[in-house]
């Protein structure tokens, strides 16, 4: 760990949403003091004049490809991308090879992350039709992931008969990829000779998403089970949740479902292909409204890198997914600068609420005693997304060329400077996240 760190003259976003122009002292990896004219012996000093100090982003849905798919990304490259994007903690999905479906495989991922990750990490345990005991006992896992739709081998758990026992037993958080696989299979037959990537949004249509969301909500309400609906993509799901969401249900949206839509297939072809698919522009508007109203609780990127070579295959052989951890914060801060939301809302959606929803303690806010996962961003310097600046191994972004502001100048993880003015300190390692009892205790 670096010595104590003193950040001078920053615009600090406090946990009550106020901006305070002052100093922040970090001791032993924790936020120790916030004030003016602070001093500290032997502290490293950062002059943050003109910069804004925010809590580090917690990205609650990423696919980092290690083990098994490391030609696309690995935990080192992905965590470098996180540090550049201001993401100080991530929760990673189980569709790696082998699938994360047993304690031994989860332990292997945690070990790999301890060796390679510049930022803090947590992992999901994947549900299959057969691993109920592994799901109930897995520790520490941030939650159970169910792929109700989308093809990831044994991770596909798509029928009510298979899904219900997972909701019925245990109390750990369940996160669902909500798409109706039976409907998708039928619709694929209708369009099987169509190689236009835009047909992806027609095949995996809005109704496929709504059907699965309704089933997950029904089961969560039947068993009062903690449910998180991943990457909400449609206005009809948002409106359904507005009426039917209960206190134990939460949901998220990705920046791409807020900012991209079916018109983008023309611009970037299969690079716009993801699951659940991009929707029409009207959906962007309804999702924004649901986010602003609090129907949607948080933002996740669903960072899902594939190589350009893989993406160049003709549809439907092109894989679904796009990278996101490096651009999510500047995208949202640029929306703030446009007046679409407040700075405090961006922080609530990207830092505070992910910590609350997954019961990650002492993170997501700038508060005395909290972990010093912090970022200093420049809200007044617009820079384009350039592929040569990206740290993700896949080397592309659906937002290439977009002129964004709020890029992190410093990223600090547990009190260590991981990013300083564009330069990564690759010697730093993050820590395994811990989740409070209510999330991990099984009945």
User: Which residues would be at the binding site for ligand DOR (CB under 6 A)?
Assistant: 63, 95, 150, 177, 274-275, 302, 304, 319-321
Provide, rounded to whole angstroms, the least separation between the CB of residue 359 and ligand DOR.
Answer: 23
Catalytically annotated residue among 134, 297, 302, 378: 302
CA distance 411 to 422: 10
Question: Which of 63, 363 has the CB closer to ligand DOR?
Answer: 63
Question: Which of 81, 424 has the CB closer to ligand DOR?
Answer: 81
Does the annotation mark 47 as catalytic? no
Provide, rounded to whole angstroms, the least separation between the CB of residue 262 and ligand DOR.
Answer: 15
φ, ψ at 212 (rounded to 5°): -70, -40
C-alpha dihedral over 165, 186, 250, 397, to 10 degrees? Answer: 130
> Is the omega angle on the peptide bond into residue 410 within 30 degrees of 0, that is, cis?
no
Q: Quick one: residue 89, left, alpha or beta (phi over 0 = left, psi -120 to 50 = alpha)?
A: beta
* Burial degree of 12 (CB within 10 A; 0-12, 13-18, 19+): buried
CA distance 36 to 46: 14
Question: Which of 112, 363 has the CB closer to ligand DOR?
Answer: 112
φ, ψ at 236 (rounded to 5°): -70, -30
Is the CB of residue 412 less than 8 Å from the CB of residue 374? Answer: yes
Provide, rounded to whole angstroms, the least separation between the CB of residue 321 and ligand DOR.
Answer: 3
Which residue number is nearest to ligand DOR in terms of Cβ? Answer: 321
Provide, rounded to whole angstroms, the least separation between the CB of residue 105 and ligand DOR.
Answer: 16
CA distances from 404 to 45, 327, 336, 378 (A): 28, 9, 11, 11
Provide, rounded to whole angstroms, the least separation between the CB of residue 360 and ligand DOR.
Answer: 22
Is the CB of residue 394 less than 8 Å from the CB of residue 8? Answer: no
Is the CB of residue 398 less than 8 Å from the CB of residue 260? Answer: yes
Question: Which of 69, 236 has the CB closer to ligand DOR?
Answer: 69
Give the rounded distance of the alpha carbon of 91 from its chain centre.
7
- Of 323, 328, 326, 278, which is closest to residue 305 (Cα–Cα)? 323
- Cross-strand bridge partners of residue 91: 122
Provide, rounded to whole angstroms, the least separation between the CB of residue 276 and ligand DOR.
Answer: 7
* Burial degree of 97 (CB within 10 A; 0-12, 13-18, 19+): middle
Question: Which of 166, 419 has the CB closer to ligand DOR?
Answer: 166
Question: Which of 72, 116 has the CB closer to ligand DOR?
Answer: 72
Active site residues per annotation = 302
């Amino acid at each position: 760990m670096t010595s104590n760190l003193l950040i001078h003259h920053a615009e600090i976003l406090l946990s009550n949403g106020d901006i305070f122009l002052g100093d922040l002292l970090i001791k032993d990896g924790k936020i120790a003091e916030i004030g003016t004219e602070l001093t500290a012996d032997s502290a490293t000093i950062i002059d943050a004049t003109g910069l804004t100090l925010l809590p580090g982003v917690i990205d609650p849905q990423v696919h980092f490809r290690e083990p098994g798919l490391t030609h696309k990304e690995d935990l080192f490259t992905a965590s470098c991308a996180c540090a550049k994007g201001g993401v100080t903690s991530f929760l990673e999905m189980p569709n790696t090879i082998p699938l994360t479906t047993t304690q031994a495989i989860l332990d292997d991922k945690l070990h790999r992350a301890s060796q390679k990750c510049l930022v803090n990490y947590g992992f999901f345990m994947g549900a299959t039709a057969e691993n109920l005991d592994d799901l109930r006992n897995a520790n520490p896992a941030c939650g159970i992931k169910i792929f109700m739709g989308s093809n990831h081998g044994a991770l596909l758990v798509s029928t009510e008969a298979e899904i219900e026992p997972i909701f019925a037993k245990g109390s750990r958080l369940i996160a669902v990829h909500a798409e109706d696989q039976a409907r998708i299979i039928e619709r694929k037959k209708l369009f099987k000779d169509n190689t236009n990537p835009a047909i992806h949004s027609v095949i995996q249509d809005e109704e496929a998403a709504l059907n699965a969301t309704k089933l997950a909500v029904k089961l969560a309400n039947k068993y009062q089970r903690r449910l998180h609906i991943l990457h909400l993509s449609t206005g009809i799901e948002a409106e359904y949740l507005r009426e039917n969401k209960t206190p134990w249900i939460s949901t998220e949206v990705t920046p791409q479902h807020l900012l991209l839509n079916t018109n983008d297939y023309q611009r970037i072809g299969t690079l716009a292909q993801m699951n659940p698919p991009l929707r029409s522009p009207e959906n962007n508007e309804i999702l924004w409204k649901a986010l602003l109203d609090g129907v949607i609780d948080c933002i996740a990127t669903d960072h899902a890198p594939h190589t350009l070579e893989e993406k160049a295959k003709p549809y439907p052989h092109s894989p679904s997914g796009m990278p996101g951890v490096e651009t999510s914060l500047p995208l949202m801060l640029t929306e703030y600068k446009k007046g679409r939301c407040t700075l405090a809302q961006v922080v609530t959606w990207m830092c505070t609420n992910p910590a609350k929803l997954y019961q990650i303690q002492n993170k997501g806010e700038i508060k005395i005693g909290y972990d010093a996962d912090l970022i200093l961003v420049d809200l007044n310097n617009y820079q384009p997304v350039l592929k040569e600046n990206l740290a993700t191994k896949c080397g592309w972004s659906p937002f290439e060329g977009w002129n964004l502001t709020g890029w992190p100048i410093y990223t600090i993880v547990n009190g260590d400077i991981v990013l300083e003015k564009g330069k990564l300190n690759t010697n730093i390692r993050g820590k395994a996240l811990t989740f409070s009892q209510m999330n991990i205790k099984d009945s």
